[in-house]
Chains A and B, each alone.
With several copies, the nearest count.
Chain A
């Protein structure tokens, strides 16, 4: 094909041959490629261009645990109803990876469409799919991009082709590209040109046969995405930490948590360095996770708002220190961006299987407070709340996110600026000590189990105390006395009860009057809300749904189970971990109501996996 043909008079994309009705704003696109090929920004352009038209989208990246050359799949779900959970069926496949092309094509459901490199001859594989052959290399050359950039540019070509076939507004694409390459004008032009080349090629050469189309939502459409943002949970959590006023960070890189701190570093360099160039923070890449949490607890003890972020293996290494934090009562914040375990497991897959382990992280009678964000907005809000709770309760507070939430692209309402001022908990000043004439570090003055503390450096002869992980009495003096030990442990239990009144309450959806309830936490949320819709539409089964947002469980959780006949506990792990914690804490009379819906293959849970099980067990399946 010659350049001249590329600029050939454009023809409108034709309608699907058979007059089958169009599918508008309700399908998913999968880009199959290899990592390191730079398809990320192309995929992001595709995602955001649709988003910019006011149409709800979500983007999930399925990538391997290596750096370059292995299969990667990026899935964009376009859904007018705003469903953003993973959808198992692919409607449009952009097959850029020869290695997986065959399997990718064979796994599609009949009627789907495939954009592929003509060289691959995928059209010979099946007759029940719609195939669009594209001479990618020629088109890439035709963009005029210099050789070393072609690998990257090639991706933008498929963006153009998809845009044309799906009738994505090119103005929207252009805006998106310009914004994405804001600081690099040349790159923007180069990419835009590639998009156009693809677009023109499709326009001039391909015959639209599939029913898929994107249509801008009316400005007043309830689901119009205008005003929304797209962000990943790790970036959101980093923002939360910054606005919480974090000052000391100890971390050790590990997928999928690294980007929490990497985002935080960028933010802090930009917004937390003062005029004189000095930093109001210390971020230290530790030698390992034991050191990372050690720094956090040391800093928390000295009065700083300190945090670390890690994932499974790192959390395991923090076990001993976590117990010290609990028993010596040291504030500290730990983000666990869960990945698929056990052991190294699947480092680039998602999971919710650290819950029970973290709830009792460390030997002995240790219990921890855990926040469970279900959205990027909550990653931001809980990212702040963790610090408040850690200082209020004087204990390590964990936030359990996961790879799906932390590393994928999610739509969200913009985040709200924190209205309540930072509060540092029960800290005594020199003046307080003067007034009180001393204090007992581990004395339960207020009956809430939370003692008072002083910070190192407090200028009063009675300010100092001795912090230790060994037995101590109310005065923080070493003690092996049975009564001192027992009283202290009972106070810690009281403190944990107090935590129940301070952690974020669960959120109820539904009338609250149905017989069937659903309990879940974290990212399972998105599959559940869609599943509830499926159940009402397809099976006429109305359900109530309570999303747990913290451990220990608040009263609402107990009441919810009490009020329903059967409660389905949906979670992304093998061992029904949330259900286990519920069985331990709930009145056993209610535990009998619990049923399990489990999903644990490393992929984010989808709505069908939830609705199918519930419909089946409720005997309303079709």
Chain B
């Protein structure tokens, strides 16, 4: 019988439901500016995938070009990453997803990458409802090219140089809802709680998730007169509804007040719980959602939260009625028709 005292075992690192630790979800050292909103978002993404227990190797990280588009290098190094060309990531992501629909796809873009050069592909990605998470790290400027206005810069907002933007901002969220995205929300890189909940809910959704995350550029757009600065967001952020999320692997019987809270059962069994804050908030009403967003501009509010969610609409892979296995690795027996087929075809042309 052991009487000698045993040294206390070193505290084991927290493991997620598939037995991995947060370290398994980390990426490379960031090369973005200290304080850049993008870095905070990378953190939230890392946590969300860790907490939802998603195997890193089952994830594709897609991006275009920009400071924001660099960020996939700074989270989840064990996932497959594709940093493509400026504004055209949506097509690359679509192709990759069709090649292997069993993978999770998380895409990071910027407001310039999406709303300027990328607008054409963005519109059609939303329209197809390709199953993936599309995150716009929105700072209202082109960070990597040193601070020119992007198409999400608000009219009247000032550059450091004093130059004023005189073109209306494009509301990416209103646009996405209008075009067919099935999970659309806005958050703020500084809003840890909300962003985390939204990211986890996004992982539970089947279809295109569009998250417009205001992410201040500390170097070129965090000054007085900017409407994408930390200060401005702290002063003008208006939550339409508090975002709660109960993952499928947790106890769902958590209490909630059905009068004030909308419960949205997600595709994977998780539940999205949205507690009404804004009176007109109705996250399953497409027309209302667009109206709400359009009105917010007049009020000068920056609405955040999940604006619209549709868990019924078929995603693009379903529309194409693909076989269950990844197209990429189907065996020759299923991709090359038989000798007889060729003979048949030849006869047709005799």
Contact = CB atoms under 8 A, between A and B. Distances in A.
The answer on direct contact between A and B (beta carbons under 8 Å) is yes
Interface of A: 36, 64-70, 227-231, 235, 239, 242-248, 250, 252-255, 258, 267, 271-272, 274, 277-282, 284-306, 313, 320-321, 324, 343-344, 414-415, 417-418, 421-422, 454-461, 463-470, 478
A278 B99 contact: no
Contact of A469 (B83, B97, B328): B83
A301 B346 contact: no
Contact of B98 (A70, A285, A299): A299
B145 A239 contact: no
Contact of A422 (B57, B70, B320, B335): B335
Interface string B110-147: 00000011011101100000000000000000111110
Interface centre among B34, B73, B116, B120 (most CB of A within 10 A): B116
A464 B337 contact: no
Given A243-B342, A302-B103, A291 B337 contact: no
A298 B91 contact: yes
B98 A282 contact: yes
A229 B85 contact: no
A239 B337 CA distance: 10
Contacts of A280: 323, 327, 330, 334-335
20 contacts: A229-B350, A231-B349, A245-B336, A246-B335, A271-B337, A279-B322, A287-B120, A290-B120, A291-B88, A294-B95, A300-B95, A302-B60, A303-B329, A343-B85, A422-B332, A459-B57, A460-B57, A464-B57, A466-B83, A470-B83
Nearest to A253: B145
Contact of A304 (B85, B92, B328): B328
Contacts of A306: 95, 99
Nearest to B24: A461
**Which 3 pairs show the lowest CB-CB distances between chains A and B?**
A294-B91, A298-B95, A303-B328
Nearest to A323: B85
A67 B98 contact: no
A279 B337 contact: no
B168 interface: no
B201 interface: no
Interface centre among A227, A305, A468 (most CB of B within 10 A): A468
A290 B342 contact: no
Contacts of A467: 80-83
A457 B95 contact: no
B78 interface: yes
A456 B349 contact: no
Nearest to A265: B163
A303 B326 contact: yes
B85 A291 contact: no
B287 to A, nearest CB: 25
A310 B92 CA distance: 18
A282 B327 contact: yes
B116 A242 contact: no
Contact of A274 (B81, B116, B334): B334
A411 B145 CA distance: 27
Contacts of B146: 67, 253, 258
A36 B337 contact: no
Given A243-B337, A294-B121, A418-B336, A68 B99 contact: no
Contacts of B329: 303, 455
Contact of B99 (A299, A459, A469): A299
A463 B143 CA distance: 32
Contacts of A456: 60, 80, 96, 100, 103
B330 A247 contact: yes
Contact of A66 (B31, B148, B346): B31
Contacts of B124: 286-287, 291
Contacts of A324: 84-85
Contacts of B58: 457
Interface centre among B33, B84, B149, B321 (most CB of A within 10 A): B84
A478 B73 contact: yes
Interface in B210-255: 219
Nearest to B341: A271
B21 interface: no
Interface in B304-350: 320-324, 326-330, 332, 334-337, 339, 341-342, 345-346, 349-350
B179 interface: no
A456 B124 CA distance: 24
A67 B79 CA distance: 26
Contacts of B336: 243-245, 418, 422
A455 B80 CA distance: 8
Contact of A248 (B32, B60, B98, B219): B98
B65 A302 contact: no
Contacts of A463: 57, 80
Contacts of A301: 82, 92, 95-96, 99
Contact of B121 (A248, A287, A297): A287
Nearest to B345: A239
Nearest to A288: B117
Given A291-B94, A297-B95, A466-B81, 16 more contacts: A66-B70, A69-B34, A228-B350, A239-B345, A247-B335, A294-B85, A294-B94, A298-B93, A299-B328, A300-B99, A301-B95, A455-B329, A459-B55, A463-B57, A464-B77, A466-B72
Contacts of A282: 98, 320, 322, 327
A308 B60 CA distance: 23
Interface string B51-69: 0000111101010010100
B151 interface: yes
A415 B124 CA distance: 39
Contacts of B339: 417
A295 B98 contact: yes
B253 to A, nearest CB: 35
B88 A290 contact: yes
B81 A464 contact: yes
A64 B31 CA distance: 10
Contacts of A67: 32-33, 67, 143-144, 146, 219
Nearest to A456: B80
Contacts of A299: 95-96, 98-99, 327-328
Contacts of A258: 145-146, 148
Given A278-B324, A457-B102, A458-B57, A69 B337 contact: no
Nearest to B87: A288
A272 B98 contact: no
B86 interface: yes
Contacts of B341: 271
Nearest to B78: A464
Contact of A255 (B145, B323, B345): B145
Contacts of B324: 278
B148 A253 contact: yes
